[in-house]
Amino acid sequence: MNRNKRFMAGAAALVVAAVGVAGLQGLANAYGPTSTSLPGTLYLNNASSNTTGTTFNTFTDTITLAQSPTGNQNAGTVIAVTLSGLTGPSTGPVGVAGNIAVVRAKISLTNAGSAGSSVPTATVLLDSYNNSTTGAAGTPACSYPATSIGTTSPEGPWETYGQFTASGNGNARLALNSLMFDDTGDGYNFGTALCAGALGGNNADYYVTGSGTNGVTNAKTSPADSTVVKNDFVITGPNAAVTSVGGQITGTTGYVRGASTGSASSQINFTGTVWGASKVNTDFAASLCDSTGTTCNTAIATAKTSITTDGSGVLTGYVQIPSSATTGLRALKLVEGTNSSLTPITVLATRTLSLSPTSGGPGTVVTSTGANWTPSAFAVKFAAFPNPGNGTVGTTFFGLPNGTQGGCATYGSPNPLCIAVGPTIPGPNNAIGSLTVGSNSNFVTTVTVADAATTVVEVAEKSITSGASTNTTVDLSSLGQSGAIYTSFTVNQDQCIAYTGDSTLGAGCFTKQNVNVSVLQGNLTQRVYTNAAATSGSSNSSASTPVVGTANTNSDATTVNLGTITTPLAPAVISGTLNDITVSDNRGGAYGWSLTASGTSFSGVPSGTIAASALTATPSCAAATNSTAWDYSAVGKTAISGFDATLSASGVTAGSAAQAFGSTVNLCTKDTTANSTTGSTGGVYNVTSSLSLTVPAFQKAARYTAVVTVTLA
């Protein structure tokens, strides 16, 4: 190949022909034999520094990727990998000598994108000189092509071998990354030839990549894993499968709560295989990590674990999750020597229960919302009954004998959330429905409160005993877990008997009537009122020619008049006022606002300009008083009738002094401080601002106009 390929520099691209499929179809953990087309790149005069291919083309061959032994594997098993084809590349227009090349490949080993898989990422190197179906390295043998190949003929069948030791646990994938027909056998170690023939000259190496665009992808410099030439299998490595969680006997969803003391409520029980034989608890380290197992922030002390293996490496044990554990999706990581496993679990936060409404008359439908309840694994009992006043509602609730759980006559699948209602601990006739806590640990349901004596609504979790009838439960209090929380509900009564007969003794009785009112949100408004204060530094003028004069007082709420001056010999300052602004906020919420202004440059008639930055503002703002709270909807300045200035929220701040209109001017800002009485940030606020215009020396005579835009947002 080396000798003859010296003539290939000007030859056509390598071409590979597809041939029939035979032999290995159906082999477990084997891709092919299947006709496959992949991007190929030829390098003439190949060296380690080469990055530019001589020719790009398509490599097509009937390829097989096989493993031995076949099937899913235990960690520690040595697995031989064989990659082979039936035709190989064609020589082009010249012949090729035999036995001068090595066929090499890189196969990527990954975890197949499976969450929780601990299969390590690695590269499996394959070489034809290993020359053994076991993949064991042998005497270097340059056996490709088998014989000399004539002009434009395929170089013939090829095989390349390698091996790896299975490790980790979970879904695994072998995928073709790159393949090389290595003339002289120096492609992975340039300068050292395995095969006969001088290095240099037309040292022709042909590269194939597992994925890319034919004619574009450089198979040497941009190899990528194939999505076609691949084998998926399972490595059964050290593993720990959940058998029960938090005192559950059934249900292995891996949801658990941390606890400050070791108890069954915080306990993950598991079994596993493929561990070291006859190991004791101190041989193991346990921690909580992210789902990939790379970041672990909660170590679990051996005092909170009990993990052992038998003589066959079968693991049994438990760990107790501490209260400091990060909540959410986590992974329990077990390490024993070089063995490790990841078991997905979810650490639940504190249960919550809220009601809407929290009071009402008999018959009120109450929406109950819960968060961080155990999904599906527990029976959950929902009840409404009087508060015994001793803070032990859950204990009383759980105190009933097994089989007499009120309306929850059918705990467990398919309805582990039981809903019951009653003035006392619910009886068998109080059930009104059932539902399942969702996979996100939350639920929303409704319950109708029918009895006037109801004072609390409670939700409780109950564990279900394996193999028992569905209405047999385990009291979680005996497992160290309070499985219930409750929240208050007030029933308004509409009838009662004060006395019997003519008796006047006793406490009497009462009825209650709910009084409802809605306060709708209002508006955030601004209104401008004329400020008629005269300017200083200018005069009032009624001149009409040759320049129209300007008054020195504001004539209405939308006009600011800064007066008239004669073109100055030195810069002259005119002081005036922006028209007054009142901001009213009756939105009834916790909001802030800002009042800003922007201005254009002054444009003169008949011509001339003054920069916007020549005008500055010095604002002030404050909550209105009882007599200066102007009614937005009234004609003119009219004080709001009955206004109470103490109900306006504080937190208004004026902008800084002498802000130039070359950029946005901050007039006033209201933060989110709320009034302690109203609970809102609303109020009425008055904003004023002095203006200062510096007229440049020798300014061109004209009547100048600018526009100031005030924005409330």
The pLDDT averaged over each successive group of 10 residues in the chain (713 residues) is 36 28 43 94 85 90 93 85 92 74 91 71 82 46 81 87 84 94 77 63 82 90 94 88 66 66 73 92 93 86 93 92 87 89 84 81 75 58 42 32 31 33 32 47 71 62 40 35 62 70 68 82 96 96 92 96 97 97 96 97 96 98 97 95 97 97 96 96 98 97 97 97
CA-to-CA distance for 276 and 254, rounded, in angstroms? Answer: 25
CA atoms within 13 A on the CB side of 366: 34
97: in domain:
yes
Residue 439 lies in a domain: yes
Total domains, the chain: 4
| Residue 638 placed within a domain | yes
- pLDDT reported for residue 286: 94
**What local confidence, expressed as pLDDT, does residue 456 receive?**
63
Global pTM reads: 0.46
- Residue whose C-alpha is closest to residue 434's, from 450, 454, 413, 455: 413
Q: For residue 660, what are the domain limits?
A: 524-712
Q: Are residues 328 and 473 in the same domain?
A: no
Q: Are residues 539 and 564 in the same domain?
A: yes
- Are 300 and 402 within one domain? no
Q: Please name the amino acid found at residue 639.
A: A
- Of the CA atoms within 13 Å of residue 442, those in its CB half-sphere come to 5
Judgement on whether residues 370 and 485 belong to the same structural domain of the protein: yes
Q: In the prediction, which pLDDT does 520 show?
A: 93
Residue 455 lies in a domain: yes
CB 645 within 8 A of CB 626: yes
Same domain, 110 and 62: yes
Same domain assignment for residues 478 and 434: yes
CB 383 within 8 Å of CB 368: no
Whether the Cβ atoms of residue 14 and residue 42 lie closer than 8 Å to each other:
yes
Domain boundary at 309, 326, 348, which? Answer: 348
Inside any domain, residue 405: yes
Measure the CA–CA gap between 266 and 257, rounded to whole angstroms: 5
pLDDT at res. 470: 35
Whether residues 696 and 581 share a domain: the answer is yes
Element (H, E) at 689: strand 683-695
- 616 lies in the same domain as 581: yes
How many other C-beta atoms are found inside a 10 Å radius of the C-beta of residue 470? 16
> Do 76 and 181 belong together in one domain?
yes
